[in-house]
Amino acid sequence: MSQTLQASNLLAVPLAPLVGSALAGVFGTHLGGQRLGRALCHSLTILGVLVAFVISALTLYSVAFEGARFNETLYTWMVVGGLKMEIGFMIDGLTAMMMCVVTFVSLMVHIYTIGYMQEDEGYNRFFAYISLFTFSMLMLVMSNNLLQLFFGWEAVGLVSYLLIGFWFNKPSAVFANMKAFLVNRVGDFGFILGIGLIAAYAGTLNYTELFSKTADLAQISFPGNDWMLVTVICLCLFVGAMGKSAQFPLHVWLPDSMEGPTPISALIHAATMVTAGIFMVARMSPLYELSDTALNVVLVVGAVTALFMGFLGIIQNDIKRVVAYSTLSQLGYMTVALGASAYSVAVFHLMTHAFFKALLFLGAGSVIIGMHHNQDIRYMGGVRKYMPITWLTSLLGSLALIGTPFFSGFYSKDSIIEAVAESHLPAAGFAHFAVLAGVFITAFYSFRMYFLVFHGKERYDQNPDAHHDDHHDAHHDGHGHSQPHESPWVVTLPLVLLAIPSVVIGFYTIEPMLFGEFFKDAIVVDAERHHVMHELAELFHGPVAMAMHAFSTAPFWLALAGVLISGYMYLIHPAVPAAIGRALRPLVVVLENKYYMDWVNENILARLARGLGLGLWKGGDQSVIDGAVVNGSWRLVAWVSGVARQLQSGYLYHYALLMILGVFMLMTWFVWLNP
């Protein structure tokens, strides 16, 4: 029997992190006189996120096992004509799963931060930021209307700006946060256009009311041409998703986000922000199902991102950037699933990916701590014996990432590959090739990093320029060439807790999430036109059978080939990569320059934008507005006044003469010229 959730309990989920953030951000910083110490600040913020996680877990239990649902408006902000602007929650399977993922990963990041940032001067400020980030993401996923969704959408963008540029004395961090902010504004412009079209033609921002009008929207053409209005709306919304979820060509901000502290990298890349676009498209599935054109665009963009961002991961030497490009590639996989109308598969991969990607980022941070702030994988090696917990958890995360059978990543990633193979959309062929090739590439660069860091010859004392940032953080102790060491328990505990779902959660959740009724009222698929999920259900015979069958399929052998080739090249015969690099130097240069996307953005688009701004400033503002309108108006007034002043002689006979002449002219006009 369906149960009803309590609004007061649901309100506590986003508000608890907000309260913790406010207390730490005001009273733990110079703003409020630093009345709260470090221990109290991290305790308050962790308590807030813990409360949110516990309530989210209970909500998920009620939704999954008791059929509980919630969809109510809690507050009406204003009514403009017939358009209501409200704050409310919609809790179903999709929302409940996202709430748990966001709060759990955030909780792990909060605990991890105690060890990672313990010596940083901005310790309290950092905890305030990440709690505010959690609040913003929760408002986004829990909303029942597009206005609140957009609020959360922009809020995570704002806080990401603060977090990426957390070390604001570093020019690279300032550049990175500005880059992230501007690129996301490009995406958000498309997003707000889509919301505006919905408000104009549907007359509502509420999800339920909007979805009830999809049949009417499908009959409307976009003014001025024969495009379907729904297609235009979906494409505009997807532009927003391209910015937030870093899809080509709006992906350029995400690798640079590594300038922020490692906990932020984990939070942005795993559970928040970048997954917002995937969540939004899945939530808007009733609209996307009406437009095959939009689905094809989504499919192509996802395939390009999955394939070409994976190539960039091969040449990265910064441990965090390798994982960052992995995120880009996996987001491409999720987008491909959305384009194939396998929304539940995309969200399933979002969930499994959140756990093992957070694990990999936090593992990378643990390695950075143990290596005394060295981030270059070329100068690591043999770390396994010094950091056993970090090694084991990183291995589990890497195995999950490459889709090893029985691991979480396998069930979601293989389901995406199968879904694309069953799709009949025109772009499905290219997408299937891209995701298959991506399997080999992912396995290669993931285990390249793994082998160079944890195995082979110890090289940590060979770094000619040990990496020392101009900030003072938790793991910088000035001993660039001393032996690695295992991280403290506040760092290793989150690694262990994240490793567990990275291994097992896919096995236990694939059946209810993909083939059960978990998403029954959250995701809509037109089974007559898009039958991918039906065909996947026919092929599925349980998680064990799926994993056993995988050993005879192409993805497994491609992944195995990637692992073996990387092991040979970087452990057995390390001269091979150098030789290949020399032979393929032109290609390597293209990859090193990231397909020249940054060059195009900075030297063409940015220059054009600056040129337009300069032209509007010099030509429009200074010449036309200030010169012609403002200064011209007073000069005209001054000239007219000067002329008029000449007529004011002060002699009475001059005025009498002018009056006589005026009367004569009037009489001439009326008598002779206008009879």
**What pLDDT band is residue 466 in, cutting at 50, 70 and 90?**
low
pLDDT in the model for residue 673: 66
Closest to 146 measured CA to CA, from 64, 230, 86 = 86
Residue 444 has pLDDT above 70, yes or no: yes
Give percent above pLDDT 90 in the chain: 30
Report residue 235 as tokens.
Answer: 């494409």
The single residue listed with the structure tokens 């959250």 is: 522
The answer to whether residues 156 and 257 touch, using CB atoms and an 8 Å cutoff, is no
Q: What pLDDT digit, counting tens, does each position of 554-574 carry?
A: 999 999 999 999 989 888 888
Q: What are phi and psi of 53, to 5 degrees?
A: -65, -45
Distance of alpha carbon 423 from alpha carbon 540, whole angstroms: 16
Report residue 613 as tokens.
Answer: 């701004």
Task: Tell me the average pLDDT across 622-642.
Answer: 82
* The residue type at 626: D
**What pLDDT band is residue 478 in, cutting at 50, 70 and 90?**
very low
pLDDT in the model for residue 575: 85
Length of the chain: 675
Q: What pLDDT digit, counting tens, does each position of 133-182 carry?
A: 999 999 999 999 999 999 999 998 888 888 888 888 888 888 888 888 88
Task: Tell me the average pLDDT across 509-520.
Answer: 87
The answer to whether residues 447 and 562 touch, using CB atoms and an 8 Å cutoff, is yes
151, burial (CB in 10 Å: exposed 0-12, middle 13-18, buried 19+): middle
Q: What pLDDT digit, counting tens, does each position of 12-26 carry?
A: 999 999 999 999 888
pLDDT in the model for residue 463: 66
Which residues lie below 8 Å from residue 132, measured CB to CB, with a gap of 6+? 17, 18, 21, 25, 155, 159
Task: Tell me the average pLDDT across 440-466.
Answer: 82
Q: What pLDDT digit, counting tens, does each position of 31-74 carry?
A: 777 777 888 888 999 999 999 999 999 999 999 888 888 888 88
pLDDT in the model for residue 255: 83
Task: Tell me the average pLDDT across 179-192.
Answer: 90
Q: How far is CA 560 from the centre of its chain?
A: 30
Q: Cis (ω within 30 of 0) for the bond into 286?
A: no
Q: What is the DSSP letter of 478?
A: S
Q: ∠ at Cα 587 (581, 588), nearest 5°?
A: 45
The single residue listed with the structure tokens 């160079």 is: 452
Residue 111 has pLDDT above 50, yes or no: yes
Report residue 455 as tokens.
Answer: 């195995």
The single residue listed with the structure tokens 């958000």 is: 188
What are the contacts of 172-180 at 24+ separation with CB within 8 A? Answer: 172/259, 173/259, 173/260, 175/256, 176/253, 176/256, 176/257, 176/258, 176/259, 176/260, 177/259, 177/260, 179/252, 179/253, 179/256, 180/253, 180/254, 180/256, 180/257
pTM tops 0.75: yes
Q: What pLDDT digit, counting tens, does each position of 225-282 carry?
A: 878 889 999 999 999 999 888 888 888 888 888 787 877 777 777 767 788 889 999 9
Q: What are phi and psi of 521, to 5 degrees?
A: -110, 10
335, burial (CB in 10 Å: exposed 0-12, middle 13-18, buried 19+): buried
**What pLDDT band is residue 669 in, cutting at 50, 70 and 90?**
confident
CA distances from 28 to 35, 132, 225, 596 (A): 6, 14, 57, 43
Average pLDDT, the chain: 86
